[in-house]
Amino acid sequence: MATAVDAQRPRRISLLLGITILTGALVVGLAFETRLGLLMLVGAALGVSLYHAAFGFTGAWRVFISERRGRGLRAQMVMLAIAVVLFFPALGAGSLWGQSVSGFVAPIGVSVVVGAFLFGIGMQLGGGCASGTLFTAGGGNARMVITLTFFIVGSLIGTAHFSWWMERPAFQPVSLVQTFGAGGGIAISLGLFGAIAAFTVLMEKRRHGQLEEAPRFDFRDRRWLTGPWPLLLGAVALALLNFATLALAGRPWGITSGFALWGAKTYAFFGGDVSQWGYWQSASNAAALQASVWSDITTVMNVGIILGAMVAATLAGRFAPTLRIPLGSVLAAVLGGLMLGYGARLAFGCNIGAYFSGIASGSLHGWVWLIAGFAGNMLGVRLRPLFFDRPPRERTRAKVS
């Protein structure tokens, strides 16, 4: 039987982690810039939101592909709709509350298609996307630490091959905000989100006869702290926090450039030199390579996400890491992590930097990423049984786990 001391332990650990986050944010803010400290707090809020809402892109896509359940995909469309309504006017004006802002707008070419497709396969084998890897690793999932490790390795390899991929055929960047204006871009985007949501409803009703009922949530209870949250609450939180990132950092939320930097710093620690690689010769990347890793916006936000997820998992009483991981699952984590990292470099970002923030920026490459990434997920779902055992019920129904 649990004692009173046992019951209080998660709260004490959460308090300690919370103090660690605040202290880290204060130290980073004093040592570098105030906004970096604030962005670490935004990252922590993202970690809490991702964990409590279980807002994963990988699981939502897999469930739709294998079972035609679209609740997760529809929540993503809500998230994107809120984001474009907030982002497009600010990006059209070029500033937000006195801060110069710009979006993630990238070329559309072979590298984006190949990179997003590889990333999609990696999502299903690795068991998570960029944000999913961070918040599940922070939540105590030891297998995702393996995925994250090889995500970093794959990112580093991607920077080594970056110049070659940039020489492949590509179209110039296209921004809906610049082409159609903020209002026109919002109208087009909302129409596309609505069409995707309607398609998921049609497919779900065709398969199951009715839509899946979302779990009830009582706003008067203490689940704000312990979770779980409704998916829609997670969607709103992620959109608002991405907008906060835009206001503080001058650009949207991104994740995987930090992984590439971590890989390069580690490689340099062991005597390697990446400075002559094309990716690291751009002014911004070269500066990041020379500076402290703690002055990097993406790094401090990634650390914040991990710590925030730890707080959320501890409050929920689910922080219980285990090292008992089947060999097939380990192999999938290694292969998936490499594909995730390599694909993200080729595609100018991941499910966050290219898909979420790319579409929120009005970049057409974000939509291309969505199509190619979803195609990769379809193949990844078919490959999963090679690495993971299926539950007996799913074997009987011959469904992919």
Question: pLDDT tens-digit profile of 135-150?
Answer: 898 888 999 999 999 9
294: in domain: yes
- Taking the chain (401 residues) in runs of 10, the rounded mean pLDDT of each run is 53 73 86 93 94 90 96 97 98 92 96 98 95 88 94 98 96 96 98 98 95 75 73 95 97 97 96 94 94 95 93 79 88 97 97 97 98 98 88 39 30
Burial class (CB in 10 A: 0-12, 13-18, 19+), 338: buried
Q: Which two tokens stand for residue 354?
A: 């290219």
144: in domain: yes
Question: Residue 311: its pLDDT value, please?
Answer: 87
Q: Which helix (H) or strand (E) holds 108?
A: strand 108-109
Q: Which helix (H) or strand (E) holds 239?
A: helix 231-249
Q: Which of 361, 265, 225, 255 is nearest to 43 (CA)?
A: 255
196: in domain: yes
DSSP annotation of 363 reads B
Distance between CA atoms of 176 and 89, rounded to whole angstroms? Answer: 12
257: in domain: yes
115: in domain: yes
List C-alpha distances in Å: 396 to 63, 124, 148, 209, 378: 17, 22, 33, 21, 21
Question: Residue 228: its pLDDT value, please?
Answer: 83
Question: Residue 21: its pLDDT value, please?
Answer: 82
401: in domain: no
Number of independent structural domains in the chain: 1
Q: Which two tokens stand for residue 232?
A: 């829609």
Token look-up 């939509």 returns 367
398: in domain: no
Distance between CA atoms of 212 and 195, rounded to whole angstroms? Answer: 19
Q: Which of 148, 112, 54, 135 is nearest to 336 (CA)?
A: 148
Question: Residue 11: its pLDDT value, please?
Answer: 64
Q: Which of 53, 131, 44 is nearest to 355 (CA)?
A: 131
Residue range of the domain that includes 50: 8-391
Q: Is the separation of the CB atoms in 350 and 298 below 8 Å? A: no
Letter string b/e over residues 95-123, b meaning 16 or more CB atoms within 10 A of that residue's CB: ebeeeebebbbbbbbebbbbbbbbbbbbb
Neighbours of 236 (CB within 10 A): 18
Cβ within 8 Å of residue 345, ≥6 positions away: 115, 154, 155, 158, 159, 161, 162, 256, 260, 279
287: in domain: yes
Kind of pairing, strands 108-109 and 95-96? unpaired
Q: Is the separation of the CB atoms in 123 and 336 below 8 Å? A: yes
Q: Which two tokens stand for residue 120?
A: 């999609």
DSSP 72-103: HHHHHHHHHHHHHHHHHHHHHHTEETTEE---
Cis peptide leading into residue 228 (ω within 30°): yes
DSSP annotation of 221 reads S
pTM of the model: 0.92
Q: Is the separation of the CB atoms in 345 and 155 below 8 Å? A: yes
Distance between CA atoms of 210 and 391, rounded to whole angstroms? Answer: 25
